[in-house]
Amino acid sequence: MNGSDLIQAYDQVLPLELCEGLILNHQFLERQGQALSDLSEYPHTTAFEGQATHTALTTRSDLVFPLEDLLVEIIQSYLRECLMRDPVTMEVVDHEVVVQRHRADQGVPQPHFTHCEDEAGFCLGVVGYLNTLDKKGETVFPFQNHRISGRQGQVAIFPLTEHYFHHGPEPIGEDKYLVVAYYRLVPRQR
């Protein structure tokens, strides 16, 4: 198994209505001044070579709660298919789900990874694509030479380690909306 085998995309997972609702809610919260914009506001994120170029606005909303059960189901599939683990043996002990808008024509986001270390378990990153861009909507994993196309409704899962730096090319002409999450999993206590 090579590193790109642990990067998986699941097509047509997020319902269209949910994608559109999350985008509208994010836009509303952003107009209300409830969006974070600086990478330094993400204490668990490190940019490649220390450069903190970040072109996203992030919001947290109760609208992501219905999405969480769906994301856990996808993680269970990932555990079975990619890590050959029985999902029943693992337990989610921490997670966060947010919505991001990557602004068009604002420069190329710097590759980054999210710190989510756990000696007893491991962490997974989840990216859900809320819209499809005509140009440059993908997510790139440069160390694995791997790309995920980033179509509306698609969900990508990958390990959260320093080996999985990732970024999206600069969105051209239109904003890119994502659901971004991390999940920390540990062996279930018997």
CATH code of the domain containing 20:
2.60.120.620
Q: 92: closest CA among 189, 186, 19?
A: 186
Count of structural domains within the chain: 1
pTM: 0.85
- Whole-angstrom distance, CA of residue 135 vs CA of residue 173: 8
Across 15-24, 115-124, 181-190, least confident range? 115-124
**3-class secondary structure per residue, the chain:** CCHHHHCEEECCCCCHHHHHHHHHHHHHHHHCCCCECCHHHCCCEEEHHHCCCCCEEEECCHHHHHHHHHHHHHHHHHHHHCCCCCHHHEEEEEEEEEEEEECCCCCCCCCEEECCCCCCCEEEEEEEECCCCCCCCCEEEHHHCEEECCCCCCEEEEECCHHHCEECCCCCCCCEEEEEEEEEEEECCC
- pLDDT at position 51 is 44
Residue 53 in this model has a pLDDT that exceeds 50: no
- pLDDT at position 50 is 45
18: number of Cβ within 10 Å: 18
Q: What mean pLDDT is predicted for residues 127-153?
A: 90
Q: Which two tokens stand for residue 27?
A: 């836009």
- pLDDT at position 153 is 95
Q: Which has the higher per-residue pLDDT, 7 or 1?
A: 7
- pLDDT at position 23 is 92
The 10s digit of each residue's pLDDT in 70-114 is: 998 999 999 988 888 787 888 888 888 888 888 888 776 677 767
Letter string b/e over residues 23-57, b meaning 16 or more CB atoms within 10 A of that residue's CB? bebbbebbeeeebbeebeebeeebbbeeeeebbbb
The overall average pLDDT reported for the chain is 81
Domain span at residue 135?
3-187
Residue 41 in this model has a pLDDT that exceeds 80: no
- pLDDT at position 29 is 85
Across 130-134, 151-155, 164-168, least confident range? 164-168
